[in-house]
Amino acid sequence: MAQRQKILVVDDDKISLDVNVLLLKGIDADIVTAMSGDEAIKKTIVEDFDLILTDVMMPGLDGFETIKAIRKDERNNAIPVIFITSLQGDELRIIKGLTLGAIDFITKPVRKEILNLKASNLLELQRNKRELELTARRLDQKIIEVEELNIKEQIHAKKAHEIIMQACMDGFLTIDIKGKILEANRTYANMIGYSRDELCSMSISDIEAVEESETAEKHIQKILSTGADRFDTIHKSKGGRLIPTEIGARYDSGNDQMYIFVKDITLRKLREKTQAELEKTISEKESLIAELNKSLAMIKTLGSILPICSCCKKIRDDNGYWEQVDTYIREHSDTQFSHSICPDCAKKIYPDLHLYKAD
């Protein structure tokens, strides 16, 4: 429930004080009175007021000095003040009052309609102001709560990110858009032979073994433009070992970072190489088998029953023509002939040369 508003009425003259209280009777606010500046100051110390209505001319502290003293307390800096004066047209006093934060002046004799209207308007302004202040405080509190919640969520997300990163079976890197390594998990550190601290002082180009800087830059630009990329490359370990890797990259535009998953595909590449060599060997064997089958076919042709002349030893081919044995074999196989002469034929052809001893 909202607290009722209060008006402090200050006047050293009892009759004037009672008149002002009576004139404010129709205002929905509690009226508190003070018959001197000192008494008014003391009451503002222990109570909060929404409006001060004070006479200017008073013995001791006048109205201006009273308000100046009240304003020293920061709580009372914003209380609207209406000065009541019988001095009309005194511009210097009016300026002094405005300097002290006066909202308005009312001249004596005070008219009820004017006093009620001005007091009501100022109280309404104070209510609105306090509601705004209350709303602002609530909003500030909500902002603080949201910020605390965001911090908790960020801490939770960071912990979850750390758990996922470390639990990942593959290597994991976080890099900025320039390729600098921001973090790495233990899997990748073990894979590459560098410590996580060493990796965080390096760039992706320091561990890239085959790609030129232009190619690496193209990969980064593709990741930035499309949000992801996947490709094979080779990373170089601390000891110089080349590690075939499969890269899966994702771009987080919110953090302006790239998340890189690195899989060691050494075994896969070895299987692919072995498979390629096996396929090549099988292909070569199939070619050799084909050649052997071709030779066997020729041998089979030669191994069939052939008509041969019992006198001249010519062979009749499939077309019925007679041809020399060497000619037929040469045409039906890969056999080539080198002509020579046997000892028996040499004796018959060259009996006088005595190339061989008689038996």
Please check whether the two domains, 6-134 and 168-264, share a CATH topology: no
Question: In this structure, which topology does domain 168-264 adopt according to CATH?
Answer: Beta-Lactamase (3.30.450)
Q: In angstroms, rounded to a whole number, what is the distance separating the alpha carbons of residues 279 and 184? A: 39
pTM: 0.43
What is the number of other CB atoms lying within 10 angstroms of the CB of residue 70? 26
- 72-104: per-residue pLDDT in tens? 898 888 889 998 887 655 555 666 656 655 567
Cis peptide before 307 (omega within 30 of 0): no
Give residue limits of the domains in the chain. Answer: 6-134, 168-264, 269-303, 305-359
pLDDT of residue 302: 54
Whole-angstrom distance, CA of residue 272 vs CA of residue 150: 49
Cα–Cα distance list, 260 to 161, 165, 181, 238, 245 (Å): 13, 11, 10, 19, 12
Q: What is the C-alpha separation between 274 and 269, in angstroms, rounded?
A: 8
Residue type, 248: G
- Helix, strand, coil shares, percent, the chain, to 5: 50, 20, 30
* Contact call for residues 182 and 176 (beta carbons, < 8 A): yes
pLDDT for the residue numbered 326: 73
**Mean local confidence (pLDDT), 276-287:** 86
Q: Which residue has the tokens 């919640």?
A: 149
Among the CATH numbers 3.40.50.300, 3.40.50.2300, 3.30.465.10, 1.10.760.10, which is that of 6-134? 3.40.50.2300
pLDDT in tens, 14-72: 999 999 999 998 899 999 999 999 999 999 999 999 999 999 889 999 888 998 899 88
pLDDT at 162: 62
